[in-house]
Structure 1
């Protein structure tokens, strides 16, 4: 059973699953308690639970796996990662970790899920961790491979980008334009062109200090990961989200993956 898949289930699907495990008073439970109950029942039946998240290391030495679905916000369903596991595998903030977990032991005062076993890091086996290079030790180069922006016949904007300002892997770009001229739509077209033409690229769209409705529109229009911190959230939250995204991108690059961040 996978915790991430459970979180994505609808309320009626969760209730059906709870009834299959014969959980009492499932109809009156909150969504979070229902997920806890299902996972506890799965553990009692000697079933394994798996989950995936992005690691955020705290100053005390331990860390938590945050959920991209919740924009890396701290929550009660985060997964605790012990200092011993972080030291053993050389884990850092931004690492995408997948592994076996267990529910919190309430009798011992635990509040969070705990990571039991690490199966993969950044979608690679743990053996790769021994040979990866640190991001700061990598050599920056001029772009050598072009990102093709042209997609379907009716989309002229990305074709014009290909002709007048082609973009390559490893390049930085800035869109400068007055308000209400279509910058958001152009970003959406660029994002969809990347996901259509370059399956090897990990796409992350980062929206900072934007309106919630713009975040919803971007999430529905783009196939990649959309991470946001809206204008009604504090400045510290903006910084935390931005740092998580850049650290995640660095960790993926250390594993020889191509990453594009659209701001």
Structure 2
């Protein structure tokens, strides 16, 4: 066609101009056709240029072909019907990459693979169809969901520990002391409700091994609750509902012929069951030796009283020494100084809850605590995530007072006696504030001054006792 423009001229024009030229020549092109497609339609021989739907379809097909990425077409040679591949086999390659990319698939064991093959055989599915199973089902089998507990391999074992409850209602038996460990036993919320379990209960029972989807063993049977069979447990009172009263029974520490600090304490102001006492040390003076002497005296002279020595942020070697001293006469619960504040709080609070459960049952418990000042520091450090820095000190003091206030003598029940160490004149303003508030809550204070000799050499004149907040022990003075 002599009046048709040449390709070089058309290629120099814009796409919109090419569309106008195509419309003037009566050539129909797709609205989204590319520039080369429009030029080809304009330069096409007259017999190939359609004026109807054929031209539009052809242009659309050419445009779609140009938009699609280049692919390699594969053809499959027909095979005899007897050897034909099932239609579902064509979908297998699409499922396999998803399974291979699953992070958990690399940890599949040979036994589990055989189990999946067995499941496919039991369901009547042929071997080629087994990989077509849904990916979610494979993941469910990997996680152990849908399995019966009766298939768990392992023997039941005896368990013994303190119950630590969570806010969600379930809990764990701390079998290796008050801190979490891999051997802790899970206690379901249903069991907590069934036996009216509380934090700090001493529980013995039987546990089963952890299932594949679990981290801890689980409690199967509860044998004893605080030393008694659970069905025979009477209705237990709540600690906060019991009436606190003044101490009425004395706790003498020194013998008839004893001397030193313990004899001085007995002569000046006897400690009573249910007292809250402070051992105040100033400067670099340490009250730990006096705590050790008191622990030995209580263990030797009062075997009917349950003795607990609580050590917070203490040196590991001092914990070992105290544990060996009280190997048969008491228990030592500790968190050393190299542990985080959260562990200090967990040990102290679970210990106090344990003594509350014992007092509810009528037992007398003595807690010798070293040190209350370090617990206040742990509360201040642990509270920074929940309070503003200006409120952390106030929250720490409140929490420490709440802990110290757990010691009391209970009417028609047992008692909790707490003698705790505090430090003053350390250069830390928080320590002095805590000590001042604790003095208001204590009914006995033993002050150890700077430069005093060892505990074994102390006499009555070297230990000052604040008797203003005394108790009804007049006959024993």
Would you say same fold, with TM above 0.5?
A: yes
Say if 1:64 and 1:80, in contact at 8 Å, map to a contact too. yes
Can you list the C-alpha shifts for 1:185-244, whole angstroms capped at 9, x where unaligned?
Answer: 211111121122222211111111222222222212233111111222111111111110
Q: Give the number of the structure whose residues are more often strand, by fraction.
A: 1
1:171 to 261, 272, 275: 275
The answer to whether the aligner puts 1:60 opposite 2:164 as a matched pair is: no
Corresponding residue SS for 1:206: strand
The answer to whether the aligner puts 1:245 opposite 2:347 as a matched pair is: no
The answer to whether the aligner puts 1:230 opposite 2:375 as a matched pair is: no
Partner in structure 2 of residue 14 of structure 1: none
Partner Cα separation in structure 1 for residue 258 and residue 249 of structure 2: 25
Partner Cα separation in structure 2 for residue 152 and residue 114 of structure 1: 52
Q: 4+ residue runs of structure 1 moved beyond 6 angstroms?
A: none
The alpha-carbon distance between structure 1 residues 189 and 174, as it changes in their structure 2 partners (threshold 3 A), is same
The alpha-carbon distance between structure 1 residues 100 and 165, as it changes in their structure 2 partners (threshold 3 A), is same
Partner Cα separation in structure 1 for residue 250 and residue 232 of structure 2: 28
Q: Which moved more, 1:151-160 or 1:223-232?
A: 151-160
Larger radius of gyration, structure 1 or 2?
A: 2
Say if 1:200 and 1:257, in contact at 8 Å, map to a contact too. no
Can you list the C-alpha shifts for 1:59-93, whole angstroms capped at 9, x where unaligned?
Answer: 222110003xx441211100111111100011111
Partner Cα separation in structure 1 for residue 189 and residue 362 of structure 2: 26
Can you list the C-alpha shifts for 1:14-42, whole angstroms capped at 9, x where unaligned?
Answer: xxxxxxxxxxxxxxxxxxxxxxxxxx77x
The answer to whether the aligner puts 1:50 opposite 2:158 as a matched pair is: yes
Say if 1:206 and 1:262, in contact at 8 Å, map to a contact too. yes
Alpha-carbon offset, residue 56 of structure 1: 0.5
Alpha-carbon offset, residue 127 of structure 1: 3.8
- Structural RMSD (CA): 2.1
The number of aligned residues is 215
1:110 to 195, 203, 214: 214
Partner in structure 2 of residue 258 of structure 1: 364
Gaps of 5+ in 2: 1-152, 370-477
Say if 2:311 and 2:335, in contact at 8 Å, map to a contact too. yes
Gaps of 5+ in 1: 1-39
2:309 to 194, 205, 223: 205
Partner in structure 2 of residue 88 of structure 1: 194
Partner Cα separation in structure 1 for residue 270 and residue 258 of structure 2: 19
The answer to whether the aligner puts 1:186 opposite 2:290 as a matched pair is: yes
